[in-house]
Amino acid sequence: MTNTVLRIDASARHDGSESRALTQRILDRLQPERVIHRDLAKAIPTIDGDWLAANWTPEDQRTEAQRETLALSDTLIDEIKAADTLVIGSPIYNFGIPATLKAWVDQIARAGITFKYTEAGPQGLLAGKRAIVAITSGGTQVGSEIDFASGYLRHVLGFVGITDVQFVAADQLMVDADASHAKANAALEALAA
């Protein structure tokens, strides 16, 4: 049994969202003791010059305004650290991830906190966690040459140290919804709780 899950919903839709429904089915399968929910439909601000300046200022030298600028980022990182498993629900929008999910990535990818630079290259600092990505699309086949979402998510999660990444895909829903749901159901049944 998974103790704590961080559920991240990236769909702009609430009603009728395939990725939200699939994410809920994954949670039902895992039966975690605790769920932390981050709904990215409630926009995550994009990073800007003030954020970058605050991030690159040593912690003990930050102003109160800089600490406030990084407060959401700190909270988002704390949510990941508190979780054993991340369950990320992401539709594919225009061949990639939603902008709000990219904004979340930018907020949590912080040198010295979620990864560090070494002589051998970057090293993730969030090792020992599992991620399950519920990914949906209308026409893009997950894993195809036009899917810029799944590879990116696998890479960025690995970049911060989360290398145990599984996908439950309901892709090409506009092409053949029945086949898409059947494939997602099979992947869901194969998930270890």
Tell me the per-residue pLDDT of 54-76, one tens digit each, with 9 for 90 and over: 999 999 999 999 999 999 999 99
Q: Where are the domains of the chain?
A: 4-190
Say if residue 150 carries a ligand binding annotation.
no
Q: Model-level pTM?
A: 0.94
CATH superfamily, region 4-190: Flavodoxin domain (3.40.50.360)
Say if residue 33 carries a ligand binding annotation.
no
Percent of the chain predicted with pLDDT > 70: 98
pLDDT of residue 193: 65
- Residue spans of the chain under pLDDT 50: none
Say if residue 17 carries a ligand binding annotation.
yes
Say if residue 75 carries a ligand binding annotation.
no
Say if residue 89 carries a ligand binding annotation.
no
Structure tokens at 124: 């993730």
pLDDT of residue 191: 87
Say if residue 18 carries a ligand binding annotation.
yes
